[in-house]
Structures are given as structure tokens and as C-alpha cells.
Amino acid sequence: MSINSAMLAGVSGLVANSSALAAISDNISNVNTVGYKRSQANFQTLVSGNSRNATYAAGGVTAQTRQYVTQQGLPQSTSNTTDLAISGSGFFVVTEKPEDLQSSDARAFTRAGSFQLDNLGYLKNEAGLYLQGWLVDDQGVITTDPSDLSRLSSINVSNVGGAAEPTTRVAISANLKSSQAVSAELPGYNAATNSMAMYDAELGTGVKPDFSIQIPASDSKGGKRTLQVDFLKSNVPNQWYAEIRAVPASDVVTGAGLSNGQLKTGIVAFTPDGRLDSSATTLLDADDPVLNFGASADGAPGAGEANWATGLGIDDQEIRIDIAGGAGGLTQYDSPSIVQAVNTNGTAFGNLTNVEIDEDGFVTAIFDNGISRQIAQVAIATFANPDGLKATNGNAYRVTMESGTYSLKAAGTGGAGAIAPSTLEASTVDLSSEFTGLIITQRAYSASSKIISTADQMLEELLSIKR
């Protein structure tokens, strides 16, 4: 009966507009939710099987709610270095628990990148979902896998302890006074039996150097060590006797030919114009000016070799001492002997002070001694049809048949968007559109109710015929 069909069409209108109201309500309530994607109820007609000459029967309307997952929200800058947004396609891979993940544990995908460190050092967003990525291996290498979710792990920075880097390179810029008078002690100087390393004013031993340069260095544990280069003017023009030694001498164990902490002995020579004459300099090899230290645990050093002292318990080390380069190198001009600069790498022990994430998704730990260390890379998941993903709690999504399977990629590669650090993606909700839709939905709902009340009046008229 046409009146009945009209009433049922009105009911379908009420149901459809109720769904539209629910979608609008969700949108308005999530206007400030990071990474939220607006939903919209799309209406379609329901048509009954009417023939051309039959009485018309209303079919009504139905609503299908769709979430626009691929629509990107505006990026908003923040002051938090672990806030992340994806500029382009892709989703962060997240899990509900940080540890002991099994292949059966569900993984979700989200654009909500408001990550912070929890009490265990894991990166977790406001919904309690933990960020996944590829961790650095023992060799300092990060290996990505585009298809295996089980290769991902929760990113944790609490297991990154303090860090230290041993000194491997030294650049000296200094001048030795060319008119330096030859020391009265020079005739008694002998690098093996009466050296500058033996000098002690109180005991009256050794030969006092004319000039000394101290070099700060860090060992394999970040401990502070001191090397010293002593110079004694020779009676041969443009030549100086030189010794490199450890201060204190107890820091090293030396082999035959070295004593009192000596590491190297020889001549430093200059050209007539005051520049270093590498061909005549014997203190260090001109092509490979390296000091080699054996580990504390090594056996007795050979002749002319040195190990770190056993009590230090530190690793072997190579330190390249550049006296021909640097800012100016070692020179001999007729001006006061002075050290312009001693530049070294290596750092003492440092503590974790900050965590930074770059556009490629590399998570880097920053230490207060200047060292930075990569610890992981954030994985980005892409889908053939992101709008087919199923929404779940926490502003996240699950894989469905419509979305297709995921593909894991590094940020900025293979169609995956770049990561924007210290940025959050805003909700895609436009309040002006939602309030306009709210008014329209309210009127449509009222109109559908009028259909039902009108059909009810007509049925009442029909029933009154019998009276």
C-alpha cells in the first residue's frame, strides 16, 4: 500500500538522518583531535520494484558513512621534538603494548603523531599506542624490511646509556720562536738517558724543555688523558729535539727505548721560511703521523711501543697528530713561542639530553658531550586504498580487504611521505561546514517525521470510513 510505503520511507529518512547526525557529532567532538579524519554520511535512494502502470510505492533512503582517510590535515608546529606528522601518504605503525610482541599481536596504523616518552622510555602517543620502527643493530646499521611487520620493534631510548668517543685525531697550530737561545743544558740532553720526560726541577734530573704543548685526549671509556709535546732548541739551525709523552707517565707502559712515559722521540725541522720541513722531521712519520696505544690487557709492548696501563682497563687506540696542517700547523717564526690552537675529536662520557627525529625518520639520541647517535628509523606504512581502512579506538586503523595489504617504507621513499618533526597534523574537520550540515540534517529529520505524521493522518481517515 502506498500510504504504508510512504510511512516506511519517512522512517528510513529518520534513520538515515540519524546516521548523518552521528557522523557530524563525531566530527565536531573531534575538531581538536590530532590526525582525525572527518566522516560524512552519503545518502542513496532505495527504489521498490514499481512497474510503469502500477501504483507508486516509496522506497526511501539509506545512508552510508564514509571516513575520508586520505584527506590530509594542516600541519601545526610544536615545541616537542617527538611530535611527528607525515607530509604526504602513509601511516605510523603502532601497537597496544611495547614489549614481548608476537606475530599474532595486532598492529594498527595512525596519523596521530603526538608521541612522548613513557616511564620506560618508549615513544607512545596520547591514545597509548607505541611507535614502531627498525632498530639499529650491533654494527650501527639499520636494515629496513618492506613486508615483515615482525621485524619492527617499539622504539625505546631508555636503553641508550651515556656515550663516549675516544680521541682519534689531533691538529696542532703553534709557533716555536726561531731566535730561541740554545739551552745551556743541551749538551747533556739524551732522549734515552737524560730526556725532557725525566725533567724534575726539585730532583735536578732531566733536561728542561724550551716549550711544551699539552694535548687533552679521551680514551675508549671517555676518561680524560693528557699527552704533552716537549721541544728543546738544537744547535743545528731550524731544528728542535722533540718528545711526546703521557702525563702522568703511569698512564702508559712502554717498551725498550722509551722511558718516563715517552711515546715518541725525534727531531722537528723547519724550512728557512719557517714552515715545517716534513722530509727532515723524524718525530712522526710524515705520511702517517699516528701514535699507537695497545690495550691495557695486551702483553708487554715491544721496543718503541706503548700500551695503556693495566690498571686503566681501556681499549687500544690510534691518535693521528697533525702538525703540518690544521689551522696553521707547526711553524718557526721569530715571534714568541705560543699555542694558537689544539683541536681534538673524541669526547668524555656524556648523558642523554634529548631525542630528535629527522625528515627521514631517523631517531637520534643527543648527549651533553656533543655526541649524537642514531638508534632507530621510523617505519611508514602505505596502502593501495587508504580509505578502505577500518577505524578503531585511539584514532587508528586496521587493515581490511578494501584497503589492501600494507607496504612498509622509509620516510620519503617509494611514495611514502616525509616526516615533519616538531609538527602535528590537525583534524580535517571544518566547523563551518559541520554546523551547516547540522542545520540541514535537523531540517531533513523534521521533514521525515512530517511524512510519518501525514501518513498517520491519512491512515486515520481511511479507518474512519468504517464508522
Whose cell is 687500544? That residue is 316
**Average pLDDT by stretches of 10, the chain with 467 residues:** 80 89 91 90 82 74 87 92 92 91 87 91 92 85 81 84 82 94 95 95 94 94 93 96 97 95 96 93 90 95 95 95 78 95 82 86 83 88 93 92 92 91 92 91 90 87 79
Residue 377: helix, strand or coil by DSSP? Answer: strand
What is d(CA 50, CA 239) in angstroms, rounded to the nearest whole number?
113
What is Dmax (Cα atoms) for the chain? 144
C-alpha cell of residue 362: 631517523
What is the predicted pLDDT for the residue at 46? Answer: 85
Contact 252, 261 (CB under 8 A): yes
C-alpha torsion sign, points 188, 189, 192, 193 = positive
Please state which of the four CATH numbers 3.40.50.2020, 2.60.98.20, 1.10.1060.10, 3.30.1360.120 is assigned to the domain occupying 163-349: 2.60.98.20
Helix H or strand E segment including 242: strand 239-247
- Predicted confidence at residue 50, as pLDDT, reads 66
What is residue 199's predicted lDDT score, i.e. its pLDDT? 96
* The three grid cell numbers given for residue 60, joined into one nine-digit string: 526511501
Residue 404 backbone zone (phi > 0: left; psi -120 to 50: alpha; other: beta)? left
Question: Nearest Cα to 305, choosing from 318, 294, 290, 317?
Answer: 294
What is the rounded distance in angstroms from the CA atom of residue 465 to the CA atom of residue 88? 67
Distance of alpha carbon 464 from alpha carbon 24, whole angstroms: 42
pTM of the model: 0.64
Domain residue extents for the chain: 2-68+428-464, 76-160+355-425, 163-349
Q: For position 378, what pLDDT does the model report? A: 95
Whether 308 and 293 have beta carbons less than 8 Å apart is answered as: yes
Give, in order, the Cα–Cα distances in Å from 90 to each of 70, 107, 150, 173, 378. Answer: 9, 15, 19, 52, 12
Distance of alpha carbon 452 from alpha carbon 64, whole angstroms: 22
Is 216 strand, coil or helix?
A: strand
